[in-house]
Amino acid sequence: MSRMKTMVVVFLVGMMLTNVTITGCGSSPEVQNTTTTQTYGQELLDLKKAYDEGAISEKEYNSAKKAMKKKYE
C-alpha cells in the first residue's frame, strides 16, 4: 500500500510541475510542450489536499513538502 501511495505522490507532483500536451494525432510529427507554472503556495495547497484526502501519508507529505521548498530556494 505504501508503494501505491508513493506512486500517487510522484504522479501528483509530476502533474503539478509539468503538463505536456501532444498535438496532431498520428500523421503530424509536431509535438507541443506546455509547462504549467504554479506558485509555491498553490503547490503546497495541492499537496495538502492529497494528504487530507488520504492519498499520501504524513511522511510522504513532509518529504514532498521539503522537496518543494528546496525547489523554490
Residue ranges of the domains in the chain? 2-71
Alpha carbon separation from 63 to 19, 37, 68 (Å, rounded): 22, 21, 9
Percent of the chain topping pLDDT 70: 51
All cell numbers assigned to 9: 505522490
Q: One-letter amino acid identity for 28? A: S
Span 19-42, pLDDT tens digits: 444 444 555 566 666 666 778 889
Q: How many CB atoms lie within 10 A of CB 49?
A: 11
Angle at which helices 2-17 and 58-71 cross, to 10°: 30
pTM, two decimal places: 0.50
Between 54 and 1, residue with greater pLDDT: 54
Q: What is the mean pLDDT of the chain?
A: 76
At residue 43, φ and ψ (nearest 5 deg) are -65, -40
